[in-house]
Structure 1
Amino acid sequence: MPELENCPTCGTVYMKNPVRDVCENCYKEEEKKYDIVSKFLRVRTNRASTIENLVKSTGVEEELIYKWTRKGRLKAAQFPNLGYPCDLCGTIITQGKLCSSCSGGILQDLNRLEKEKESKEARKKGTYYSF
């Protein structure tokens, strides 16, 4: 059953949609802004633009550009200086949710916890002698 939700942009109530995360009016505005960004990036000299340059040149909000890059509408392979922030530290990345240093840190923590768990189990399974 469809759910009602408030639009994160304007606050109006709309039917939650798996394709869109904003109301119909905000979606139309976002599409207009996407067209502006897309036309700007089609020019060969603009393809190497950074996020800051793109924001200055088009007037489109940084968060929308991040959103489109995260969803794959603006491909990092075609536009090498575009990306979005890592969910933990904010470093600009081009794929996934975490940068390599954050994911490496999480893996190290998981390995450390696994070793601690194994050592606790080994201590519990110690040999006991009765006299």
Structure 2
Amino acid sequence: MPEVKNCRKCRKIFMYSTGPQICDACKKLEDAEFEKVRVFVRDFPGATVQEASKETQVPIQLIYRFLKEGRLEVSESSPIALQCENCGARIKSGRFCISCSKRLANDMISAGRSLKDSYGREPET
């Protein structure tokens, strides 16, 4: 259900439902910035994040956020990369490397099974 929030960028009030906490006007601006970065890294796959930021006038932090959200993808040979939030391995997008993603998924499945099993038991007295 939508709720009234302040835009993180311009502080205007807007109806928020999902995704980044920014209004439609700021979202359109951010989408335009994303497109500039996407085209730049496609055309210059060897560029660093500093070069991409300088040429597109898009802040480095926003470029990293695009990568973390999985919106922006770069080639395997690109010097632009993130670190896995769990083990620190070099990754191209997202928050976790493949190995940690699999481990987290298995941990969640195990936790779900444990929770399901505990609901099936009689309460202890």
Q: Is TM > 0.5 for Structure 1 vs Structure 2?
A: yes
Query: Is the counterpart of residue 10 in structure 1 residue 6 in structure 2?
Result: no
CA distance in 1, matches of 2:89, 2:7: 27
Q: Is the Cα contact below 8 Å between 1:70 and 1:83 reproduced in 2?
A: no
* Aligned residue in 1 for 2:29: 29
Deviations 1:80-129 (A, max 9, x none): 222346669x9975455479xxx9xxxxxxxxxxxxxxxxxxxxxxxxxx
Seen in structure 2, the aligned counterparts of structure 1 residues 14 and 35 have a Cα distance that, compared at 3 Å, is: same
Seen in structure 2, the aligned counterparts of structure 1 residues 83 and 21 have a Cα distance that, compared at 3 Å, is: farther
- Give the number of the structure whose alpha-carbon radius of gyration is greater: 1
Gaps of 5+ in 2: 101-125
Gaps of 5+ in 1: 104-131
Query: Is the counterpart of residue 42 in structure 1 residue 42 in structure 2?
Result: yes
RCO comparison, higher one (Cα < 8 Å, 6+): 2
Seen in structure 2, the aligned counterparts of structure 1 residues 60 and 95 have a Cα distance that, compared at 3 Å, is: closer
* Aligned residue in 1 for 2:51: 53
Deviations 1:55-82 (A, max 9, x none): 1111111121011101111114456222
TM-score by length of 1: 0.59
